[in-house]
Amino acid sequence: MPRARNTDPVTSDLAAESVKNVTETQSFILRCLNRGRPDHELIEAYRAYKTAPYASESGIRSRRSELVERGMVRDSGKRTTTRSGRKAIVWELTSKGVRERMFGGKSA
């Protein structure tokens, strides 16, 4: 769920709370996670979609984090190594995320 910063006005909190549906950016992220990916691969896959709305790298990670909070994406328990040699979490869809990706929140 989108969040507002502690320093933002109360209207930002209200706006963040009003976002209940998966956003267009989150929808593309769910499409990109058709297989498990770490964030750096998720960002590359997202950018490959020519019709995806613009999102910065940090914006893509934030939207992925929101999907984790909503129970649509989870840590797979697997780790991979980035080009810089650091370990990275491989993210995967949950069954809820698969349903959202396939049916847009509508039941089959």
User: Is it the case that residue 16 has pLDDT exceeding 50?
Assistant: yes
Query: Tens of pLDDT along 36-77?
Result: 999 999 999 999 999 999 999 999 999 999 999 999 999 999
How many whole angstroms separate alpha carbon 74 and alpha carbon 108?
22
DSSP string for the chain = -----TTS-HHHHHHHHH--SPPHHHHHHHHHTTS-B-HHHHHHHHHH-TTSPP--HHHHHHHHHHHHHTTSEEEEEEEEE-TTS-EEEEEEE-HHHHHHHHHTT---
pLDDT (mean) for 88-98: 97
Mean pLDDT of the chain: 87
Which residues 6+ apart lie within 8 Å of 101 measured at CB? 27, 30, 31, 33, 34, 93
12 pLDDT band, cuts 50/70/90, is low
Domain boundaries of the chain, sorted by first residue: 10-102
1.10.3430.10, 3.40.50.620, 3.30.420.40, 1.10.10.10: which CATH number matches 10-102? 1.10.10.10
